[in-house]
Structure 1
Amino acid sequence: MSDHIHKSHNKSLLLYHFVCPIEYRRKVLNDSVSMTFKDICLQIEERYEIHFVEIGLDGDHVHFLIQSIPMNAPKKIIGAVKSITAKEIFRLHPEVKQMLWGGKFWASGYYVNTVGQYANEEVIKKYLQNQGKSKYTELHRNQLKLF
């Protein structure tokens, strides 16, 4: 079960399910790139007040279950995640940029949904694990934590 985040003037439990397609729906996340991708996400976690509860790959797109604080709007959260991961993947795996002829890692759109009391975390996790036509690969799984 999820834990609330306690700050000096608020208490919150905000979970977001994001789905981000890779540009041109290319399947560029091989094992090596996937491990780098996970490491980049965990480094983002250290610098921003976001916590990756789960990261999952489904061929040509990525699912995130992210906990954050009220001051971080969903657009700000996913903007930081997409920007930093794209820049670092291209820097650490230049071969990926060759596969994406437009020079962008992520497609411009994304899906976001809140996870709440009536659409609980376990329901969303099961949904993530049963997504897509290809086999879902759980790249990272963690417990919610307090900031």
Structure 2
Amino acid sequence: MSKYKKQSHVVYKCDYHIVWVPKYRFRILNGDIGKSVDEDIRKLSEWLGCEIEELNVRGDHVHVVVSIPPKISVSTYMGTIKGKIAIKLFRSYPVLKKKPYWGNHFWASGYFVNTVGIDEDMIKRYVKYQEEEERKEERDGKDFTQMNLGI
């Protein structure tokens, strides 16, 4: 029963695999911006009472496996994460605001979400080792960004 979490009146296991992208899927989540996004996702998740199990910030998308308590909806979680991070990024990097294509929106409007069940370990390994797979794809001459990821 160690995988289950407890609150005062509920025992739960609500794990989600969530993927989202910056507007126009620009490769902007590198360097300091990527580090800031990673740190902010972890801090905001903890503040919301959610537990990050795996997190991978790539140049043009973010993968997270997160345990969200039943009192918080996935859409509330995503709205908080995307909203607060966008505000902070525009304040920390004013040059982003000067680009005409952002229009005060850092993230694309949607996201992909999947409940994590039987394949939990496979998804965690995928998120954790995705960078190695991308490098392998690049070496083999395949363009990873053109693959259909369902988002």
TM-score range, shorter chain: 0.7 to 0.9
Which amino acid in the other structure matches residue 33 of structure 1? I
Deviation at 1:23, TM superposition (A): 0.1
Higher helix share: 2
Structure 1 distance, partners of 2:116, 2:63, is 13
Residue aligning to 2:7: 7
In the alignment, structure 2 segments of 5+ residues that lack a partner are 137-151
**Structure with greater Cα Rg:** 2
Higher strand share: 1
Residue aligning to 1:112: 113
Which amino acid in the other structure matches residue 36 of structure 1? S
TM-score relative to the length of structure 2:
0.77
Which amino acid in the other structure matches residue 11 of structure 2? K
Q: Percent identity?
A: 32
Residue aligning to 2:122: 123
Count of residues in Structure 1 that have an aligned counterpart in Structure 2? 134
**Does the 8 Å contact 1:28/1:96 carry over to 2?**
no
1:2-81 equivalence runs, <5 A: 3-81=3-81
**Does the 8 Å contact 2:34/2:58 carry over to 1?**
no
Residue aligning to 2:90: 90
Deviation at 1:135, TM superposition (A): 4.3
Deviation at 1:101, TM superposition (A): 3.3
Structure 1 distance, partners of 2:34, 2:15, is 23
Could you list the structure 1 runs, at least 4 aligned residues long, displaced by more than 4 angstroms after superposition: 133-136
* Worse-superposed segment, 71-80 or 104-113: 71-80
In the alignment, structure 1 segments of 5+ residues that lack a partner are 137-147
Deviation at 1:67, TM superposition (A): 0.8
RMSD over aligned Cα, in angstroms?
2.5
Structure 1 distance, partners of 2:95, 2:13, is 39
Structure 1 distance, partners of 2:47, 2:93, is 22
